[in-house]
Structure formats: C-alpha cells, structure tokens
Chains A and B, each alone.
Chain A
Amino acid sequence: MKQAHGLAENSIGQPRQAVRDADERLAPAKTRQRRRVIWLHLPALGFMIIMTQIPFLLCVWFSLHAWNLLTPAEGFQFVALSNYTHEFFGDPNFWPVIVQTIEIVFGATAAAVIGGTVLALLLDRNFWGRNVLRGLATVPFLVTPAAVAINWKNLFLSPHFGIIDWLVHSVLGFPIIPWFSSYPLESVVLIIAWEWTPFVMLVILAGLQSIPNEIYEAAKVDGANSLTTFWKITLPMLRKAYEIALLFGTIFIFQTFGEIFLTTSGGPGTATMTLPYYTYQTAFISDQIGLAAALGVIGVIIAIFAARGMLRLITEREAVA
C-alpha cells in the first residue's frame, strides 16, 4: 500500500517529490478538511505544555534564584543571573564537564557511525542467514541500558572477573587494566557507542537499499571499480542517511544517564560527567536547585539549537525537492 504514488521509487536524492504531488492532488479535499474547526491536536498540545513547558519555565525561574535545599533558612532569594555567572566563571567543574560532554557525545557518535557503516555494508550483501544476523545486530540498541551497562562493568571491564581483562592479562600477558578508573571516558564512550551502532546501521542499511541498482550497473558499464563506486556513488547517495544518523545520534546520546550512573557515577572525580548528569548531580546530590536549574537551562539552549538545525535540514529539503 505504500507504493501508492510511486513513493517506493523515491530515492534519497529526490525525497519529497511524490509527497508534493500528492499534496496538489489532494488540494480540494484537503481544503474541505481544513474548513472544519481544527482541534484534534489541542489535547496533545496542552499535555505537552503542562508536562514540559511549564516545568521549563519554572526551571528558568528557579535558575534566577539562590535555592539550596540543605539550607532552608536562606530561603528562595532572587539573584538575577548570578547562578549563570557562577557556572561560567566560578565553578571549576563547569568547563571540564562541557568538554567531556562534547568528547562523549562526539566520540560515541563518531564510533557508532563508523561501526554502523561497517555493519551495514557487511549486512547489505546477500548471504545465508542475513536476516537473522540483522536481527541480532540490532540487539545492543534494544537492550535496557541500565541492565547492560552494569554487566559491562562487572562481566567485561572488571579487573577481577572481566573477560576483556582475562584476554588482555591471562592470554596476551599484559598487566591488568582497571578500565573504569584508568580509562573512564573511553570505557563510557565504548558502551554508548556499542548501544548506538545498531541504530546507525539500520539507518545506513535503509539508505543503501534505496540506491537504485541501475546506477551501479551504469557505473559497471563505465568501468568503475568497486572502490570508486563506493566513494563516488554510494557515499554521496547516503548523505541524507548520515545526516539523520548523526543528528539523532548526537541528540539522544546527549541524554545518556543510566550508563554513566551505573558504571562510573560521573567519576573518578568528575571525569565522566556530562552536562545532564552534572545537572542531576547538582540537584539531587548537592541539593543546589538554583544552580541545577541554571545548568538545565544551558543544556536546553544547546539542545534546542541542535534540534532546530536538524529539523530544518530535514523539512527544508522536503519543501525544496
């Protein structure tokens, strides 16, 4: 049923032509639909405002106040922007946390993109058992992060019972490495990248499948070898797939929490703290609600810019095509 308006042939290069055609054909009926009072989206809109916008406005309001739950006597004092100036200039943890956030988000995204591409190329070939392997390869994306992160810590990267250390130490003869204290950032990045690799793989696979076979045949006729074909045809045609993988990946990886909480708790020291984690820590461990609110607002501003940029990329191309 999806083939209805030739959408199936819709390749990545000209994504939305079919939809626009449909829009034009639909015009009279759609206008009639429009004349009705439109309220269907209002319950959802109201719900989202209550659950996210009002709390966010409160967050902004809190961020302008000094409020420490441990010292209730000091109360709820208006301090204008001093929570923000404290974070920017007075908090020794803030900038390292920002740098680590960037390292974790981009490190994990980059690793997932490379790993996902390799898996997608391998699983795009036709071979016996392909569908089973594809299903298996998505598993790290589906598993409950908290359940698996704790096992990464105890079964794999643990210096006592970890199978990786067994390999490194007992088999290869290198000294035991306490991964989470010697390489905390790398260990966390490894777990997150492992979880997100299947997502990238699925997106790239979909991209690969949407490249029409005729293009490859034409390239073959023109005598292009497989490497040239990959660089000159496959990769450019995957552009949209990569955009989606990158932008979704970064935005969701930015939210990572359980994996850090259950492996390093942000440590050692603050070595694996990301901005959202540091916000949580400031609110729920240090009870500094005012400062945590300011950190939250900073995080929202960063995320909104990223999200709008991404959506503009996707929807604008729909409109232009």
Chain B
Amino acid sequence: MNNTKKVWSNLGWTVFTYLIIGIFIFPVAWMVLTGFKQEVEASTTTPLIFFRPTLDQFQLVAQSNFGAYLFNSLFASLVSTALALLLGIPTAYSMVFQMRTRSANEMLFFALSTRFMPFAAILVPLFIIISRLNLLDNLLVLTLIYTAMNLPLVIWMARSFFMDLPLEVLEQAWLDGSSTFTSIVRIILPMSAPGLIATALLAVIFAWNDFFFAVALTYTEAPTLPILVSTFTSNEGLFLAKLSALATAIIIVPVALGIYAQRHLVHGLSGGALK
C-alpha cells in the first residue's frame, strides 16, 4: 500500500522534473526550431509548432559573411586558449609544487583579481593604446586580450587539478632527478589530462562567447560571430528565422564543448573546493 504510494510520488516528481527542464530550455529549443522555419512562418502572431522544416535559413546564413566571422571566432578562441594554457600550466605547477603557500596564494589573488576587475576599466585605456598603435580591428590583438581573459581561469583550474595529483609518483620522479620540464610533460599533463581538457574547453567557450571586447575593438576585419548577430538586426531589418538559424549555428560549439566537459567544470571552477 505504502509502496504504491511511493512509486506514484516518485513518478510524479520525475514528470515534474521533465516539465520544469522543458520550460527551462524552451527558449533555446524554440530558437532552434525557428531556425528551420520559413520567414513567414517565424513571424506569425500565433506561434507555429508544426511546419515543414527547411534549411533555407542556414543556407542564407552560410551565404552571408559567416565563413569569415567563423574563422575569426575559431582563431581567436583556439589560439588564445593555447596561449593561456602555455602560460598558465607552468604557473600552476610552480604554485602547487614549488612556491611557499603564502606566495602561491598571493599569485592566485593577483591572477584572479585581473579576471574579476570590470573589463570596462581596462577596455578604455586598451582602446586608446590600441588605436594609437593603429592596431584596432586586428585579430591578433583580440586574441591576446582573450588570452589575458582566460589565463587566470587556466591558473585557477589547473591549480585545483594539480592539487589532487597523487604525490608519490611525482616525488619518485623528482628523486630520479627528472627536470621540471620532464615532470610537467611526462607526469603532470597525462595525469591531469581530463581536468585540463575541461579547462581548455571552458576557455574556448569564454572566448567564443565574448561580445564586449569584440564589439569595441573590431569593425570589418576581425569581428567574431557574436558581432554578426548584432549586424543582422541593425543593418538588415528583422528576419526572425534567419536570426534564429544564425544563433543556432553559433551556439553549437559552446554547447557541445560544455556538455562534454561538464563533469570537470564544477570541480575546476570552484578551485577544487567542490568535487
């Protein structure tokens, strides 16, 4: 008797959960759906749920400058992530295995405070410097800025993954006289690979999703995909289906990477405080 009641209440909660998650991700689902509509079907006053899906809008998006923007987005996020890893991993190694706790904490405070300060405050002087150097609208400059944006994240997350490494193996390596470079490449990197991959993916997502620096520092040569969104509305009037198709194309990368890295995100983002 009691048992049946429990089964029903369990089922009830499960149905409720599906419902809530359905509502929660409805905005994204609806957007994706709209991307497969014709323009007329997208701007009806009564929302249209059943329609013949078409790839027309995606073709229109592909025919616009999408490719150039895509290249800029890929370049800026991949190269900035690679640079941030290159600079950040040795730093995290040094903080966890070499520095005294106090200096490591100071380094951590410093790194994170550069990430937490409002970007607006460094954007103003950066803009002045960059325009004086005639480097506005330059993809490399944007990439370096994303590197600076992601470096604290890499240090913070790599540190938390390094702190969890079994020390016996490392100690043995040190006793065997292996150099710092060898210990990083042969031991640290392979052992913390899952966490570091998650870190890299999160860095790619952050750079990919940035709008702030891209809108202020690029015009025609170096703009990334999020900027394409804003040009779609301001220059060409409102095309809901095309806009939805574009947005859908843009979010595929961060959503795929993020879901893949999900398991390690919390541990790394909380600095190792949460497993």
Contact = CB atoms under 8 A, between A and B. Distances in A.
Interface of A: 1-2, 4-5, 7-8, 10, 12, 15, 19, 22-23, 25-26, 29-30, 32-34, 36, 38, 40-41, 43-45, 47-48, 51-53, 55-56, 58-59, 62, 118-119, 122-123, 125, 127-129, 133-148, 150-152, 154-156, 160-161, 163, 166, 170, 194, 197, 202-203, 205-207, 209-210, 240-241, 244, 248, 251, 254-255, 257-258, 261-262, 275-277, 279-280, 283-284, 289, 292-293, 295-297, 299-300, 303-304, 306-308, 311, 314-315, 318-319
Main secondary structure of the interface of B (DSSP, over half): helix
Contact of B266 (A30, A142, A206): A206
Interface in B211-256: 211-212, 215-216, 225-227, 229-230, 233, 238, 240, 243-244, 246-247, 250-251, 254-255
Nearest to B84: A44
Given A33-B174, A47-B148, A202-B265, A293 B255 contact: no
B78 interface: no
A234 to B, nearest CB: 15
Given A44-B91, A206-B275, A289-B124, A254 B226 contact: no
Interface of B: 10, 13-14, 16-18, 20-21, 24-25, 27-28, 30-31, 34, 42-47, 87-88, 90-91, 93-95, 97-101, 105, 107-114, 116-129, 144-145, 147-148, 151-152, 155, 163-168, 170-171, 174-175, 180, 191, 205, 208-209, 211-212, 215-216, 225-227, 229-230, 233, 238, 240, 243-244, 246-247, 250-251, 254-255, 257-259, 262, 265-267, 269-271, 273-275
B91 A135 contact: no
Given A7-B164, A147-B251, A311-B109, A206 B243 contact: no
B259 A62 contact: no
Q: Which 7 A-B pairs have the closest CB atoms?
A: A296-B121, A258-B211, A4-B166, A142-B258, A51-B148, A147-B247, A58-B125
B229 A150 contact: yes
Contacts of A303: 116-118
A273 B95 CA distance: 39
B275 A10 contact: yes
29 contacts: A8-B275, A26-B171, A40-B90, A48-B110, A48-B114, A51-B147, A55-B122, A59-B124, A59-B125, A118-B20, A125-B17, A139-B28, A140-B24, A143-B254, A146-B226, A148-B28, A155-B244, A203-B270, A255-B119, A257-B212, A258-B215, A275-B118, A280-B212, A292-B124, A299-B117, A304-B113, A307-B117, A308-B109, A314-B273
B105 A315 contact: yes
B25 A279 contact: no
A163 B108 CA distance: 46
Given A34-B98, A127-B10, A139-B28, A279 B250 contact: no
A140 B209 CA distance: 12
Contact of A307 (B112, B128, B265): B112
Contact of A261 (B211, B250, B262): B211
Contact of A52 (B90, B100, B117): B117
Nearest to A152: B27
A315 B250 CA distance: 37
